[in-house]
Chains A and B, each alone.
Chain A
Amino acid sequence: MTKESTDQTTHFGYREVPVGEKADLVGQVFHSVAQKYDLMNDVMSLGTHRIIKRFTVELSALRPGMSVLDLAGGTGDFSLLFSPLVGSQGHVVLADINESMVRVGRDRIIDKGKSGNISYALANAEKLPFEDNAFDCICIAYGLRNVTDKDAALASMYAKTKPGGRVLVLEFSKPVQPVLGKAYDVYSKLWPKAGQLITGDGDSYQYLVESIRMHPDQETLKQMMLDAGFERCEYHNVMGGICAIHIGYKASS
């Protein structure tokens, strides 16, 4: 964010770290959890992340022949859902900044025999290595939180979206009900322990919990998307605001 870039530090969970180091630190977190990322997601979200992802895909309104960027695509859940929707004429690009995550995602997609219209890219969301106006839809799910400069990422996503295209941002957010918020706080305190048991790396999940707390809430993110140039921005609260799906469109001309 602008504030962070001026004083040259940014948050990594609750810690303040130099801007240049955040990407590496986040990288280490995901290198460490890549193999069991999906299992941990099931534990943390009680299995609901699959439903939330499908709901996000329903909002994508993809048609055969379209091109879609699955940014921070990680283990390929979204690419697998997008692939049949855009069909053999369309194209899905799974991009992630983390090599381990792309590797896991690519292996998984190839193992399912669905590799026909999917390609892979190691890419930083702040500086997307694609042509401008390349994608009908860009989707970043549980990824924006980990990006050092979120405004730069949103601006880059805006540039790569075709006029008339849309961007979907699925991210943890702020629960609307205070009671739900408290319950969720208590529940999420268990994650580092669960992470220790399942992946043998509690620290990475401590970071995930903290990064969720530090992520902008629904209205702030909506304003950030408007600032990046998107129009008709709106958001859907999921499970009382524990997650939120933001949609923004790029003007047609």
Chain B
Amino acid sequence: MGANLLQTAILSAAESFLNGILSLDPVATSALQKLSGKSLRAECELPPMSINLVVSDGSIMLLGSQQHQHADATVRGKGHALLKLLTQDSVANLRDSGVTVSGDTGFLNALQSILKNLDVDWEYRLSKLLGDIPTQALSDAMAGTRKFTSQSANNLRDDIDAWLHEEKKLFPQKNELAMFYQDIDKLRLRADRLEARVRKLGAG
């Protein structure tokens, strides 16, 4: 029998990556502590593979299931549906997703909310790599860029708005619309009064 080391290698790399991200969020780490010892098996139908996730001491372990391993909860479905599960709010709305869940769904919900609410302090990680001052400069630059981008987007939206309404007259202005609606209201009232008067004359 030959061994499939590729899956093990990929899972090992994914585990390091995930634990690296989790370690940057103290809230997620302490939430994971509470789930210590629990395990989840993800059985993927397409591509066919099976992964075991074991929680321990605020970190996770990803192992391929070579043998029928114990798991507190199991999710089964196609690859894309399982990935979608990560982005959903809860495992309650799984009806049409083609994913079946068995075992401890409370654990699954807790795990999902940890992944969804990850709040990673990138600046801290960067400052360890680059040092404090370059990180501050970089984050200032990024904040500046973000501000400039959002301002530019706002300006562009205003400009397009003005161009469509004022220059091209493709759409009516807000106040023009208001006057138009007011006129309609006035007309309806006068029509009502006229109708009442006609009825009164007819009756008399």
Instruction: Report how far A84 CA is from B9 CA in the complex, Å.
Output: 19
- Assuming the contacts A50-B12, A236-B1, A239-B5, asked whether A57 and B69 have C-beta atoms less than 8 A apart, the reply is no
Tell which of B12, B39, B66 touches A59, judged by Cβ atoms closer than 8 Å: B66
Q: Chain A contacts of B12 at CB under 8 A?
A: 50-51, 54
The answer on a CB contact under 8 Å between B66 and A237 is no
Answer yes or no: A232 CB below 8 A from chain B CBs. no
Q: Chain A contacts of B92 at CB under 8 A?
A: none
Interface size class for chain B?
20 to 34
The answer on a CB contact under 8 Å between A58 and B70 is no
> What distance in Å separates the Cβ of B86 from its nearest Cβ neighbour in chain A?
22
Tell which of A52, A57, A88, A235 touches B1, judged by Cβ atoms closer than 8 Å: A235
In this complex, how many residues of chain A approach chain B with their Cβ under 8 Å: the count is: 31
Proximity string of chain A (83-105) to chain B, C-beta cutoff 8 Å, 1 when within and 0 when not:
11101110000000000000000
Answer yes or no: A186 CB below 8 A from chain B CBs. no
The answer on a CB contact under 8 Å between B54 and A84 is yes
Proximity string of chain A (63-77) to chain B, C-beta cutoff 8 Å, 1 when within and 0 when not:
110000000000000
Proximity string of chain B (86-118) to chain A, C-beta cutoff 8 Å, 1 when within and 0 when not:
000000000000000000000000000000000
Residue of B nearest to A90 (CB): B37
Proximity string of chain B (1-31) to chain A, C-beta cutoff 8 Å, 1 when within and 0 when not:
1110100110110000000000000000000
Instruction: Report how far A84 CA is from B65 CA in the complex, Å.
Output: 16
Instruction: Report how far A137 CA is from B10 CA in the complex, Å.
Output: 26
The answer on a CB contact under 8 Å between A84 and B70 is no
Answer yes or no: A184 CB below 8 A from chain B CBs. no
Answer yes or no: B145 CB below 8 A from chain A CBs. no
Answer yes or no: A48 CB below 8 A from chain B CBs. yes
Q: Chain A contacts of B3 at CB under 8 A?
A: 52, 55, 236-238, 245
> What distance in Å separates the Cβ of B43 from its nearest Cβ neighbour in chain A?
15
The answer on a CB contact under 8 Å between B37 and A237 is no
Answer yes or no: A114 CB below 8 A from chain B CBs. yes
Instruction: Report how far A63 CA is from B37 CA in the complex, Å.
Output: 10
Q: Chain A contacts of B154 at CB under 8 A?
A: none
Q: Chain B contacts of A48 at CB under 8 A?
A: 5
Proximity string of chain B (52-85) to chain A, C-beta cutoff 8 Å, 1 when within and 0 when not:
0010110001011111111000000000000000
The answer on a CB contact under 8 Å between A58 and B8 is yes
- Assuming the contacts A61-B69, A63-B69, asked whether A54 and B36 have C-beta atoms less than 8 A apart, the reply is no
Residue of A nearest to B5 (CB): A51
Residue of B nearest to A241 (CB): B2
The answer on a CB contact under 8 Å between A64 and B5 is no
> What distance in Å separates the Cβ of A243 from its nearest Cβ neighbour in chain B?
9
Q: What are 27 A-B pairs with beta-carbon distances under 8 A?
A: A51-B9, A51-B12, A54-B12, A54-B63, A55-B3, A55-B5, A58-B63, A58-B65, A58-B67, A59-B67, A61-B68, A81-B61, A84-B57, A84-B61, A85-B61, A87-B56, A88-B36, A89-B37, A113-B57, A234-B1, A236-B1, A236-B2, A237-B2, A237-B3, A238-B3, A239-B5, A245-B3
Q: Chain A contacts of B66 at CB under 8 A?
A: 55, 58-59, 61
Give the residue among B39, B63, B68, B69 with the most A Cβ atoms within 10 A.
B63
Q: Chain B contacts of A238 at CB under 8 A?
A: 2-3, 5
> What distance in Å separates the Cβ of B137 from its nearest Cβ neighbour in chain A?
35
Give the residue among B3, B67, B69 with the most A Cβ atoms within 10 A.
B3
CB within 8 Å of B: which A36-60 residues: 48, 50-52, 54-55, 57-60
Instruction: Report how far A64 CA is from B72 CA in the complex, Å.
Output: 10
